[in-house]
Amino acid sequence: MDGIVYLTADFTALPGTQTTATIERGTSATGPWTLIGEVTLLAEVGVFYDTTAPLDTELWYRWTGSPGAVVITEGPYIEISDGSVLLKDPLRPWANLALSFCETPQQALAAICDPGGPDLVWAGFGEFVRRADANLFDVYDAEKPADIYGRRKRLDGSLKLFSKTLVARDAVEALFTAGGPLQLQLPAIYGWPDAVLQPGDLVETYLSRDQRRPYRVWDAPFTLVDTPFGPGQGTVEANWCLLAETYPTYADLIAAGVTWGEVASGEAMLPPGFDGFGEGAFGDGPYGDGG
């Protein structure tokens, strides 16, 4: 389970010649629908990865091809949670992190957690703050000020992670380095709905006085924000740089029997059945910007 729904829509059997499509997500075959993306079609075939799909929820997708407003509806899909915490970059899914549990970083240091266990641990939230959006202005010769207020902000908070290896440390850095909003998905027992948060300063702290030991604690404040909208990036295996190295010319690509659909989905650089996105902080060659 990586929290991503992989979609393909084929418009070739439908009237007209579609060149682009919008993708909407809903919880039934009839909606209501929320716009989540737009793609350019290759030979009237579109590939899209829903990197913000809610977990344990029946999902449907509506493709609307243009020109012609031709519609394809797909579903249902369900991404089943496995008890992990997912901290995801909706636009850089290759950097997503799956976090496991341990009571406290201190217990992990004391080897109460299995030393052979997960390298990345969810250590929990700090306090939540719902900021007031109000201002008071003194009024001349009046006992009470003028009160101007708006809807209270939801939500400020902080989160804490724990990494046990240098590889895990690099994975945390890779996720946060782009500086943009992240999606946090937690097991249902937390009562935390899927939310997108904008992290503040990321603080890395050594857990051991012996700084040769790789244990780190990570703290970051955050504010909830809207979901970002835009094209997702690929993995270290599926990027334009590696594609150009593997197939130096268009003739090489055609001779290998690779289709544009496989290029768009990332399968051109991966074995059949594998998608172009991966879980973990591997690679820095985003699919589409030249690496």
Distances (CA, A) of 48 to 112, 232, 258: 42, 9, 19
> What is the rounded average pLDDT of the residues 255-271?
72
CATH architecture of the region 1-80: Sandwich (2.60)
DSSP lists the bridge partners of residue 61 as 25, 74
Query: Which tokens is 181 given?
Result: 């909003």
pLDDT of residue 110: 58
Establish whether domains 1-80 and 85-225 are of one fold.
no
Q: How far apart are CA 120 and CA 64, in angstroms?
A: 40
Distances (CA, A) of 272 to 8, 176, 234, 243: 15, 31, 16, 16
pLDDT of residue 93: 85
pTM of the entire structure? 0.71
Tell me the CATH number for domain 85-225.
2.40.30
Please, what sign has the CA dihedral across residues 273, 55, 127, 221?
positive
Pairing of strands 203-206, 195-199: unpaired
pLDDT of residue 91: 84
Residue 268's CB: how many other CB atoms inside 10 A? 21
> What is the rounded average pLDDT of the residues 103-126?
71
Instruction: Reply yes or no on whether the pLDDT at 112 is more than 70.
Output: no
DSSP lists the bridge partners of residue 23 as 37, 63
3-state secondary structure of 74: strand
> What is the rounded average pLDDT of the residues 2-18?
89
Q: How far apart are CA 55 and CA 4, in angstroms?
A: 9
Which range has the top average pLDDT, 60-69, 233-242, 269-278? 60-69
Mean pLDDT of the chain: 83
Domain ranges in the chain are 1-80, 85-225, 233-291
> What is the rounded average pLDDT of the residues 43-58?
89
CB within 8 Å of 280: residues ≥ 6 apart: 94, 95, 96, 97, 171
Q: What residue has token string 């240098």?
A: 166
Q: How far apart are CA 41 and CA 9, in angstroms?
A: 9
Percentage of the residues of the chain whose pLDDT score is greater than 70: 81
